[in-house]
Every structure is written in structure tokens, then in C-alpha cells.
Amino acid sequence: MHACLPVCLSIFYLSIFYTARERGASEAREMMEGDERERASRASELASELESERGGE
């Protein structure tokens, strides 16, 4: 019984650490994808503004 306790606790802590690490990695991935989408939308806005300015001249 006493020999099982440290093993079980270490497995428990490792599983928590792994889960937190995976969650952090997925959140970072989502943030990078969101940033890419924002940059793409901003680039398309700037392109449309530039075209409208050229058309107005």
C-alpha cells in the first residue's frame, strides 16, 4: 500500500502536467491562427482602400 502511493501520485502529477502542456500548446496554436486571420483581413482591407483611392484619382 505504501509503495503504491508515490507511484500513483507521480502518475497523477505527470498526467496533470501533460494535460496542461497540451492545453497550452493548443491555445497558442489557436492564437497564432487568429493572428494570421487578422493579418489577412487587414491586408484585404488595405488592398481595397488602395484600389478605391486609385479609382478616385
Query: Residues 2-57: pLDDT tens digits?
Result: 788 889 999 999 999 899 888 888 888 888 888 888 888 989 998 998 888 887 65
Q: Is 57 helix (H, G, I), strand (E, B) or coil?
A: coil
pTM of the predicted protein model: 0.48
Q: What is the biggest distance separating any 2 CA atoms in the chain, rounded to whole angstroms?
A: 84
Q: Which amino acid, residue 39?
A: R
CA 44 remoteness from chain centre: 23
Cα 50 from Cα 44, distance rounded (Å):
10
